[in-house]
Amino acid sequence: MNTLLTSATVLAGDFALDKDTVTPGVLGFLAVFAIGVCLYFLMRSLVGKLRGVSARAETFGSAGTADGDGREAVAGADAAATPERDPSARG
Torsion sign (Cα): 18, 20, 21, 24: positive
The rounded distance, in Å, linking the Cα atoms of 3 and 10 is 11
The rounded distance, in Å, linking the Cα atoms of 8 and 85 is 70
Tens-digit pLDDT string for the chain (91 aa): 567 667 777 776 677 777 777 788 899 999 999 999 999 999 999 999 999 888 888 888 776 544 444 455 555 555 555 555 655 666 5
From the list 34, 53, 52, the residue with the least C-alpha distance to 42 is: 34
DSSP 83: P
